[in-house]
Structure 1
Amino acid sequence: MENQKPSLMLVDGMALLFRAFYATAVTGQFMINSKGIPTNGIHGFIKHLFTAVSSFKPSHVAVCWDMGSKTFRTELFSSYKGNRGEAPVELIPQFDLVKEVVESFDIPNIGMVGFEADDCIGTIARQLSGHAKVSILTGDQDILQLLDDNISVILLKKGYGNYLVHTPETFFEEKGITPRQMIDLKALMGDPSDNYPGVKGIGEKTALKLLKEYNHVEGIISNLDGLSKSIKAKIEQDLEMLHLSRRLAEIKCDVPVNIALEEAGLKIVKEKALNKLTELELRGVQRLLPIDEAIVS
């Protein structure tokens, strides 16, 4: 039998942590432990992580994090993500603690100041997709631009254990464009959740139509005279914003982070992991850990 390619799951840590936090915060279940520390986000993060590990059975796992809100994108456009409020006070202590928990599982934490988690994910996915089948676990559609023959995306749906898995084929079926064209799609229509406008008055329908015809932003710009008067006027009026939005939308795949595949091998040391969970008084998640009971004496 030929050697099976290793499989690496890259996890968008913030996506899991925020999703877990807000799912319980609405009912006020912050799971405050005896030290007065809320652990609801961490608890749900662990549950999301290992539910996905048991569903997709990766041989290797790494978690990528945002490292503060200032990045090269906020330097390009100061209102980038400027619509996001401050993190809730109950979530703040969980940012550092969740990384300690990941460390106790001997899973690498990866992040780089000045870049978003997505940029680290993109960089590592590209670096290692020749050596492993890469899947990316996130709740964020933006990452779909990274899809290729060796990179798939697992989108978290509501609840635990519900996923939508995308490959370049399923993406094309859904949108009628290639994953790379998603960058141009966002450049044209903007992204309200990241707070940049794209071209005023161009929505998804028009943007998709233009991309199917002219391939990318440059193709559209070099064919302005072939467009309807109103679309031409809109693009000309927002040309600078269109170029800027494209730079904001593109995930950088050349961030100065690297990781050797063997560093991410999934090998949890039972005692080390359980000590950390006990210290934080995280109950009911031990059984989710992929620890081979037969080997551990």
Structure 2
Amino acid sequence: MNRIDRLQAILTQLQTKKVVKAQEIADRFGISLRTVYRDIRALEEGGVPIGAEAGVGYFIDDNYSLPPIMFTTEEASAILIAGKLIPHTSDKAIDQSFQNALYKIKSVMKTEDKAMLEKLESSVKVFNGPYEIPQRDSIYLQDIQQALVKSKVLKLNYFAHYNQEHSMREVEPIGLLFYALNWHLIAYCRLRGDYRDFRLDRIRNLEISEETYHRILDKAFEEYLAREKEQYQTFEIELKMEKQMALYIHEAKYWYGYLNEKDDGQFVNMKFLNPDLNGFARWILAMTDKVDILSPPNLKNMVGEMVRKLHEKYQDT
């Protein structure tokens, strides 16, 4: 990227946040802090009123009027692709907000770029197989985001899957996580006296209270993630399977913590990292005699016990 393009990109970045740190700019463009300082000075000399807060970062004066941001064809295409995924990973409220934003983006594009995007619109689809999962009316994503920004206590009617019971919770939200194809609210639960993970599609009702809580969100969220990572026990698993079986599970293996594989011609050695040996053992059963368990030994014992129980259950038939 040449310097003129970088200066324009820095100006755009300064519009995205109240205060932008010099290190954030340096990391984004792969430049030194000294280069960042020179670029900021060049923008100031060009008439852009950039303020600086010592030890915090840079900001643009609120009264400064900037021209509309023009999107490149590649940037608009990337946003369109994201829009195709939104209905499958959120709810109707978020989808509607995103589509409204997309209309605004299209309104400032050049005519030829609009035509390109219109053609691309009908040529990109997300296919979930023969059974489409209906989009949820609401999983409270917007309400939770609002509570996070305003540090408001949430009142939840939560359905716990493990005991099939509903409970009322007052929680202090610290973050949102998307994993295992679902959104999760991470919050301090006053009932349990600790941080908990609430899957959004199991929240039956949510209310934003007027009560404000006091937590440093970034710090609390990072501490929670670090703690979870430390407690997350995983097992290294090594399998040896026939080549045809390796081809058969080509897609499924990624769901079970696939790491790498070595093909020696007739057989394939695969390594996995997985936290649930019991669930992994059940998956191996489907491979019957086409696979050998090299490690760990207790996984082999687990599969053997499952086979024994199956034999006892079905030997008469």
TM-score by length of 2: 0.22
Greater relative contact order (Cα < 8 A, sep 6+): 1
TM-score (norm: length of structure 1): 0.23
- Greater fraction strand: 2
